[in-house]
Structure 1
Amino acid sequence: RFASVVTTAGFSASAHDPALFIHLSPRGRTLLLLYVDDMIITGDDPEYIAFVKARLSEQFLMSDLGPLRYFLGIEVSSTSDGFFISQEKYIQDLLARAALTDERTVETPMELNVHLRATDGVPLPDPTRYRHLVGSLVYLAVTRPDISYPVHILSQFVSAPKSVHYSHLLRVLRYLRGTISHRLFFPSSSSLQLQAYADATWASDPSDRRSLSAYCVFLGGSLIAWKTKKQIAVSRSSAETELRAMALLTAEVTWLRWLLQDFGVSVTTPTMLLSDSTGAISIARDPVKHELTKHIGVDAFYVRAAVQDQVVALQYVPSELQLADFLTKAQTRAQHGFYLSKLSVVPPP
């Protein structure tokens, strides 16, 4: 019913996001984003926005909460320099539910060189708390890329968590206690050009030797997308692992470019895709490679086609400047602080 009402009001559904509705008029563009019974309406046509609010109020019981400050547990604040998004209250509630018995904090969410296995430790007598806390952390990672990697690791043991897994979960909570007010910053001076980083760790899972892909995408100086994901197949080389990570990121970049066009942002130049693997870049660029790479042909051809269509442009980046590395492994204190600053995960001003 909602879709028919907004369509009647002049909106059209986005072909790239079923929750997004778009309206164009001589006065500008209006966007409506819907999630169940919560919505955001924004745009540069205030007259039409007022009309839509009135039309929806005629059909549905609604409350206008004014300028965006809180949405689905995400807090939004603004200054003259830009916007901040955070989940501080969500973290407070999470820590209260966790009922930690001490006040300790830690500076990083995961210890160095930890390789957790399903057989580590003894089974928890009641895994419900572990599952509940990890599930809550998954949603918290929507605004906290600094916990993306440990949450990915801990999520793999929700079916049968052990004592060791729970102790590492508590470390993440103690890290959050010490960084509870950290938030993502989106500078108002940011450009509207996409830049993306792809990285991977080869055979990083000790149980099945599958590799880990990770990426992060920036719109100008604003981090807008990130992901840590285990690869579905075992890779025979680090270059193969990195190429699969590039293919995963290429799909995300393609979608983001479509979405930006829905927002009225012109996307005409290739998106820079940065990787620290010269081998993967070479495979993606070269249509004739050794037969040992034929088993990864789909990923290679997919990335190569995106390069030829000028969707992405591949560029080498030194490993020490590979920002997606933050999402593939635990870091030292110094490295952790460096990546937080680069990703604009900052304390309040």
Structure 2
Amino acid sequence: MWVLVSLPPNREAIGSMWVFRVKYNADGSLQKHKARLVTQGYAQKHGSDFIETYSPVVKPTSIRLLLSIAVSKSWQAPREWYHKLASGLREIGFAATKSDVSVFVKNVDGLQTYVLVYVDDIIVTGESSALVTDVIAKLNKKFALKDMGDLHHFLGIQKYVGEVLKKAGMVGCASCHTHLPSTVKISALGGSSFYDPKLYRSIIGSLQYLTITRPEICYSVNKLSQFVQAPLDCHWRMVKRVLRYLSGTTSYGLHIKQDSSMSVTAYSDSN
């Protein structure tokens, strides 16, 4: 709903633009045409247009951990929901965890229900399907929720590699079998400055987001993110190496399967 109001004294309106997207279902069929009016938030002035902003972002490790537990214990199938305000969770008895404030947990009769919040997307799962349904019903009374169906591709990451390659101008690039080796030496000195630091920061941010389902590039992304303030040409070449690796491994991802054991299994390519 739109409400037209007058500008406060001595204030200027913030610019905006329309963004049009075509959204698809998990099977590739057309879901809907989406239009979004986006304001130019970068034009806002701190202390004048806003005081503090915060969006809850669940940690990638929390997402992977909870989905693994849900699958192994045959919990209520995780479903993805669109929400307006996460604060409503506290009003119906949920508490934020200490390790990750974007994960909310509630115990009822010894049964647990979890809610993971990522800005305006949430995952709801738990030991009892009845409790999960009850939580969703209570939230729906207070906020406008949209059921996105069973969880298939959380946060739209399944097509994200292609978008990152397009942003970097590397669509169709030659692939490579590995990203950065753990022994690579990276220095902040001794090279020419990269011509487009903004592009470097944008790609690094995209790669950090991608680590949710591609944890094997975490080390490389962490190393390269240390130079976002003043990237050099040599740093950009290493970023391109990571992108070439992703180009040849677009089908890779995390495969979570049911297992009676909850023990942690680790693999290493080192002796």
Counterpart residue number, 1:212: none
Counterpart residue number, 2:196: 126
**Equivalent residues in 2 for 1:336-347, closer than 5 Å:** none
Instruction: Give secondary structure in 2 for the equivalent of 1:148.
Output: helix
Counterpart residue number, 1:54: 137
Structure 1: runs of 5+ lacking an equivalent: 74-86, 194-219, 224-320, 324-334, 340-349
CA deviation vs aligned residue, 1:41-81 (integer Å, no higher than 9, x gap): 111222222222222111111101122123234xxxxxxxx
CA deviation vs aligned residue, 1:253-273 (integer Å, no higher than 9, x gap): xxxxxxxxxxxxxxxxxxxxx
Instruction: Give secondary structure in 2 for the equivalent of 1:156.
Output: helix
| Offset of residue 122 of structure 1 | 1.1
Counterpart residue number, 1:316: none
Instruction: Give secondary structure in 2 for the equivalent of 1:159.
Output: coil
Measured in 2, the distance between the counterparts of 1:15 and 1:155 equals 26
Note closer, same or farther for the CA distance 1:173–1:55 as it changes in structure 2 (3 Å cut): same
Counterpart residue number, 2:218: 148
| Offset of residue 36 of structure 1 | 2.7
Measured in 2, the distance between the counterparts of 1:26 and 1:112 equals 48
Counterpart residue number, 1:94: 164
| Offset of residue 126 of structure 1 | 2.2
Instruction: Give secondary structure in 1 for the equivalent of 2:238.
Output: helix
Structure 2 residue identity aligned to 1:23 = K
Asked if structure 1 preserves the Cα contact closer than 8 Å seen for 2:180 and 2:242, the reply is yes
Counterpart residue number, 2:187: 117
TM-score (norm 1): 0.48
**Equivalent residues in 2 for 1:135-174, closer than 5 Å:** 135-174=205-244
Measured in 2, the distance between the counterparts of 1:173 and 1:108 equals 10
| Offset of residue 92 of structure 1 | 1.1
**Corresponding residue to 1:72 among 137, 152, 155:** 155
Counterpart residue number, 1:186: 256
Asked if structure 2 preserves the Cα contact closer than 8 Å seen for 1:27 and 1:45, the reply is no
Measured in 2, the distance between the counterparts of 1:149 and 1:158 equals 15
Structure 2 residue identity aligned to 1:169 = V
| Offset of residue 19 of structure 1 | 2.3
**Corresponding residue to 1:25 among 103, 108, 111:** 108
Give the number of equivalent residue pairs.
188
Asked if structure 2 preserves the Cα contact closer than 8 Å seen for 1:120 and 1:164, the reply is no
Counterpart residue number, 1:245: none
Measured in 1, the distance between the counterparts of 2:113 and 2:123 equals 11
CA deviation vs aligned residue, 1:132-172 (integer Å, no higher than 9, x gap): 11121122123222212221221122111111111111111
Measured in 2, the distance between the counterparts of 1:158 and 1:4 equals 33
| Offset of residue 190 of structure 1 | 5.3
- Does 1:40 find its partner at 2:110? no
Structure 2 residue identity aligned to 1:126 = D
Structure 2: runs of 5+ lacking an equivalent: 1-83
TM-score (norm 2): 0.60
Measured in 1, the distance between the counterparts of 2:102 and 2:165 equals 31
